[in-house]
Structure 1
């Protein structure tokens, strides 16, 4: 029997007529969360910016770029509910996180608190920073399955000590797809005077974002995921009291020029050297194009994708014979389900991804979906995404393919 809390609509949400993405139509693409997918109008906008840049590169970089970037900040600030002058445009969330750590004066014994659901690039950067500074990483373990968002708050706040200098927490986690209750965590960190970094790589476009209401020290985001902007369109919100020390990883040839009318923070991130700025310049087009896909704009789009992933998770869970892993309130447009462990011999198979099962799904079934391990227990999971181009039939196809491939793994275990 279908759990009643999984049903959020009378009928499965209908896919968008005449999809406008450049995805290969032969694929069952259920991984919008990793790299997004580019809308044709956004690709055209980026191409127009690139043509403008190449037509007169001197004018583009010396005269036009600053004003164009201000326009991006205005539109993005409106979408995220923050002041445009508090936004720095960067290549991606990974660069933003590295810049935050580089700008923080960590001392031996300082503690950096994270959860065991954080993204690997942050873990890698923390390894480098702690080796250099003598600071220490403390990890709050978040269970999966999880019964309530209160568990996240309790585990994170319970791991804070007198030595805690920074807290990093995902708004929507990459590995588990869970929506974390970041507001309660940010409020308590602010009360205690602890810098808090919200990793929002997955949140803009998947769930509503209100930076002004959230009031973190830093909020990092990616445009290429749920905004469907081009790859290379990241941003970071920096609270005004941290902007003077928030210097980029590399200084351009322009930042030494004093300009009283423009803050050093903006000048640092207006220009990071010769490069292709067309991805970030296309963010406003992405916001407008995605917001025009459904009547009701972004709220309707987020609701559609949430309802679709809930139905998709129900279908795949039934095929796997597993139960829901979290309350609906902790799901945006991604859902994660547990998978059985393979035989040890199968675990050592070569893979182009994170698990040979992902190779099998792609090569034998044309399905694109991530299989990986997450959390302190290194649990094997599959994460599904939902975007308006997806259909219930695609999740049924995934469920059938997983059942078939996992049966093959079990048969190998028995025969061995």
Structure 2
């Protein structure tokens, strides 16, 4: 499909005014930490004032109904039962909560891939070292031609000892959408539980946790949902909820309340913290869904189309081939860096792009050729002209 710059000039550029982002920076890395719009931050500021004005009243009376409402709104957005969701600060905490609650035997195998996010891979290694279990890494090729290659690579590494599979829904390094529903169904048919790291998925692609059917699923709300930093969720199927405990054991462990499950009581209160990021999730969902007449469906489709257009532009400018089919891309895409940059350190390339050109973009080291990847993001405040500027900047950088 061919794209033109005019395809993405229908929205006023001053939409950027809705964010605090530095206008002197060409921000093409929404995927790393997200960016929270001003109206949502304003709601958070009011909630914090409410909390600090009368802390005992806030935590004793006001916080829990607000949090429960936020969980209900989020459950609707990701198509899950409210009883199966709890808030956590980030997806890495969600992964830790599951892996550190489970008990593995020395003969057990935990399956993951070579695309797994480094922080979560570290959790796997930590748990395996303590228990004697073995981490099995399925090598998913990259570049690749189809989702079937992901499916095949993972299933080929399943054995009679496989206890759990930790898989990304959207990979961080390579920005690939894995065929998660198909993988979950196949693994569960073999009696293997699944922990899905969906850090990037909420707000990037439509989510239906009921249909996916994973045993455990965790996702961030501060990335593509644009909630404040420190808002994420953990989903646990009902059959496993008694096994999964928060990283901090607190009052919920021996609460006498019977109006909520032990799972929710424990995760809801792990000690005094600022819960306003969680409470703002409905505001973020509503705000981002109001920016286009077609709501979230149009927003996700527009960002998807923009990132595909940008990928096409950059591939043509640098003379490289797209490393994966369009169907495996959400609102991030990875492009091999120009071959003239082969051998350059990824941090130095990132810093030069920022310091010399004012471009904030993710530069990713990869374990095989191509060794250097450029990961771009597309959010509604981005324009195709910004990616043209990136194309020129990297070409100029290649000459130095």
TM-score (norm 1): 0.92
Output the aligned Cα RMSD: 1.7
SS in 2 for 1:121: helix
Per the alignment, residue 283 of structure 1 pairs with 281
Q: How do 1:50-89 residues align onto structure 2 when only pairs under 5 Å count?
A: 50-89=48-87
Aligned position for 2:24:
26
Equivalent residues in 2 for 1:191-340 (5 A)? 191-339=189-337, 340=339
Alignment partners' CA distance in 2, 1:343 and 1:257: 58
Unaligned runs of 5+ in 2: none
> Which whole-Å CA distance do the structure 1 matches of 2:203 and 2:138 have between them?
27
2:8 aligns with one of 9, 12, 16: 12
Q: Deviations over 1:266-325 (max 9, x none)?
A: 101111101111111111100000000111000000110011001111111122110111
Matched residue SS, 1:107: coil
- Of residues 312, 331, 347, the one that matches 1:355 is 347
Quote the residue 1:411 is aligned against. none
8 Å contact from structure 1 (residues 80, 209) kept in 2: yes
Q: What's the offset of the Cα at 1:12?
A: 3.5
Q: Distance in 2 between matches of 1:377 and 1:196?
A: 30
Secondary structure of the residue that 1:389 maps to in structure 2? coil
Residue 6 of structure 1 deviates from its aligned partner by 5.3
1:367 aligns with 2:368: no
Q: Conserved in 2, the CA contact under 8 Å of 1:106 and 1:135?
A: yes
Q: Distance in 1 between matches of 2:267 and 2:312?
A: 44
- Distance between the aligned counterparts of 1:283 and 1:343, measured in 2? 42
1:398 to 390, 394, 398: 390
Look up the SS of the partner of 2:211 in the other structure.
helix
Inter-partner Cα distance in structure 2 for 1:225 and 1:74: 19
Conserved 8 A contact 2:252-2:262: no
Distance in 1 (CA, whole Å) between partners of 2:14 and 2:283 is 19
Scaled by the length of structure 2, the TM-score of the pair is 0.96
How many angstroms apart in 2 are the aligned matches of 1:34 and 1:104? 29
**Inter-partner Cα distance in structure 1 for 2:2 and 2:210:** 32
Report if the CA contact (8 A) 2:5-2:385 is conserved: no
1:154 matched residue in structure 2? 152
1:118/1:291 Cα in 2 relative to 1: closer, same or farther (>3 Å)? same
Distance 1:375 1:15 in 2: 39
Runs of at least 5 residues in structure 1 that lack an aligned partner in the other structure: 348-353, 409-416
Compared with structure 1, are the counterparts of its residues 166 and 375 closer, same or farther at alpha carbon in structure 2 (3 Å cutoff)?
A: farther
After superposition, the Cα gap between the structure-2 partners of 1:15 and 1:146, relative to the gap in structure 1 and judged at 3 Å, is farther
